[in-house]
Structure 1
Amino acid sequence: MYNKTILIVDDDRDMHGLLRARLESEGYNIISAYSGEQALELIRERGLPHLVLVDIYMPGMSGLEFCRQLHTFTDIPVIMLTAESGSDVMVGSIELFAEDYIVKPFNARELVARVQRLMLRIRSFDYVTEPEMRIDEHLSINFGRQYVVVDGEHVDLTPTETKLLYILLSNLNQIVTLEFLLNRLWSRQEVFEDALRVHIHRLRAKIEDKAANRVYIMTERGLGYRLTVTNPQLIRYDFSNRKT
């Protein structure tokens, strides 16, 4: 049994029932909501699930609006369910940090496979649980609690920013390719390259100080990104044996 919880948000009760039955047969715990409003209320009452499946087009609060509100307080993985594959839908999903999307009608096996890939990706980030790791004189990181300390100031990271920084730091001063990052963070690299740029931009804004000419994340045009530390003090944890 997976013992992982999935929240299904879809006003189509027939579709909802099919999804629930199939995912429960795979060992997942299912929470059902038939509107965005109900889904948010369930999260407040029961806590966060491990994954959300949400239909984009629902009466009242749309799936996109639900995700916008959801991501004001969490960055849990989301798979969008949509009846179309137009660029507007893709862009909307990217901007709201959906991990993946699937177009209706879809094969149940395909959906289960995508859910399982995301669950494996969640489990694969086994973060350091010891206290803050000092990177250099300006930057410290706590992966377990998902924050950085920049020049003494505590700055929270989203789960995606934490994973991104973890991967880059695991390959300190080395180029990490776009393909590698996309495969580690999302299911569809051809869709989410723009989303990666957004996360890189936001992470830079949190840890860098351009006024002081302090830049950590370098863009290697056409290749990927590289985390550079001029005077590294990272001596408390060996990333070399980590699976990245």
Structure 2
Amino acid sequence: MNTVATILVIEDEPKIAKILVDFLQQEGFNVEVLHDGLGAVEHIKQHQPDFVILDIMLPNKDGLSICKEVRQFSAVPILMLTARIDEIDRLMGLGFGADDYVCKPFSAREVVARVQAVLRRTQIKASPIDPQVVTYKAINLNLERFQCLVNQQLVELTPVEFRLLLALVKKPRVVFSRDSLMHSSYDDDRIVSSRTIDSHMKNLRNKLAQALPETELLHSVYGIGYKIE
């Protein structure tokens, strides 16, 4: 089952932000809002939204600077909002890394349609037809090669760590008990203690953290087990 996409709206005009939020939520998206550009890059690093709607003119830090910085660590789709129609050709030519541009004033329905179109396009690219590849956010698992890429970096995993991560990635936000993770991670019927699973998860978390600093994807759920989110 597909998870609900989270859209981050970075727009300093409250009325415009509210309109976008209302229309996006009507289409079933989760929506987060920032009204200032200063903490936007850090927010994207930590929360990893599925899509960013980014105004060019923002207080404290402009949208172009944000876009360039985000492109240094993320391929998240970005739709930029500009108040000048003559800027669009120039911005596209300069290659700031945005996926699309919309000029103000705009139709909220058009923005939603653009978001949906870009998401479809990027999801096709990010989800190869090859059934041997499983992807979640910045994690890419190649089952045939037993290879893990995180943020385009090769991460060396043990067989058990790979199977643990695969089980979690296949069902994001689902909480797995230690017993279910044990059965997913070992080919035989050996008896493994919960402490062993905890140790593997600790190692796995540390390896992911090296490729995704300041971002925590693996979460322990007290008294139950683990999930990825």
TM-score by length of 2: 0.54
CA contact (8 A) 1:64 1:92 kept: no
Which residue in 1 is equivalent to 2:35? 34
Distance 1:132 1:146 in 2: 19
Q: Distance in 1 between matches of 2:148 and 2:104?
A: 37
Deviation at 1:96, TM superposition (A): 1.1
Name the residue aligned to 2:89: 90
Query: What does 1:188-207 align with in structure 2 at a 5 Å threshold?
Result: none
Alpha carbons 2:73, 2:151 under 8 Å: kept: no
Counterpart position of 1:17: 18
Partner of 1:62: 62
Q: Give the AA of the match of 1:15.
A: I
CA distance in 2, matches of 1:71, 1:92: 15
Give TM-score, length-normalised by structure 1.
Answer: 0.51
Structure 2 contact 74–151 (Cα < 8 Å) conserved = no
Letter in 2 for 1:20: V
Partner of residue 107, structure 1 = 107
Q: CA deviation at 1:16?
A: 0.7
CA RMSD of aligned residues (A): 2.7
Structure 2: gaps (5+ residues) = 134-141, 155-229
Asked if the contact 2:54–2:81 (Cα under 8 Å) also holds between the matched residues in 1, the reply is: yes
Amino acid at match of 2:120: L
Secondary structure of the residue aligned to 1:54 is strand
> For 1:73 and 1:148, how far apart are their aligned partners in 2?
11
3-state SS, counterpart of residue 11 of structure 1: coil
Q: Aligned partners of 1:26, 1:131: CA distance in 2, in Å?
A: 34
- The gaps in structure 1 that reach 5 residues or longer are 134-141, 150-244
Q: Distance in 2 between matches of 1:9 and 1:84?
A: 18
Instruction: Give the C-alpha shift of residue 145 in structure 1.
Output: 5.8
Partner of 1:207: none
- Alpha-carbon distance in 1 for matches of 2:100, 2:113: 12
- Structure 2 counterparts to residues 1-244 of structure 1, below 5 A: 3-46=4-47, 48-87=48-87, 89-93=88-92, 94-125=94-125, 126-127=127-128, 128=130, 129=133, 130=142
Aligned residues: percent identity? 31
3-state SS of paired residue (2:38): helix
Q: Distance in 1 between the 2:153 and 2:5 partners? A: 28
What residue number does 1:198 align with? none
Q: Is the 8 A contact 2:102 2:111 kept in 1?
A: yes
Contact map agreement 1:2 1:28 (CA 8 A) in 2: no
For 1:36, what is the secondary structure of its paired residue?
Answer: coil
Give the number of aligned pairs: 139
Contact 1:2 1:27 survives alignment (8 Å)? no
CA contact (8 A) 2:7 2:31 kept: yes
**Once the 2 structures are TM-superposed, how far is the Cα of residue 41 of structure 1 from its aligned partner?**
2.8
